[in-house]
Amino acid sequence: MSGPRRLDWEEGSPERLYVLTGGRSGAAREQLDLVTLIVSRSSPDPGLQPEQAAIVRMCGYPLSVAEISAYLSLPASVVMVLLADLLADGRVEARPPIPAASLPDAELLEAVMHGLQNL
């Protein structure tokens, strides 16, 4: 056998991603998007997949779906399927992102920052 042989379970291999999701896709996209905030409602159980347990552990404070995807180095579509299972089991809670209108005005923040620097 010449040349390097590809391992069957490389990090991003389609086979691994298929096993993680059980071949499912798409259903979670209806209730989640990349900016949806996820917060844990329980601690991880031994029966969870390692990736799901990692999600429950890391979401002690709100994280977006995009952040979870980046931390786990998994495609967002795979993370959404895993989150859909966790949501159905009541292990995590999905919250809408903070609307921009409720955030302080950028000019006000700059004025406060300049005022503090002048002290």
How high is the pLDDT of residue 68? 94
Confirm if 13 and 73 have CB atoms less than 8 A apart: no
How high is the pLDDT of residue 19? 57
Predicted structure pTM score: 0.66
Sign of CA dihedral 19, 22, 23, 29: negative
d(CA 72, CA 37): 16
How high is the pLDDT of residue 71? 93
* Of 88, 90, 72, 70, nearest in space to 16 by CA: 72
Tens of pLDDT along the chain (119 residues)? 444 544 444 555 555 655 565 556 655 556 788 999 999 998 888 888 888 899 999 999 999 999 999 998 888 888 888 888 899 889 999 988 877 666 777 888 899 999 999 88
d(CA 103, CA 101): 6
What does the block give as tokens for 105? Answer: 């005005």
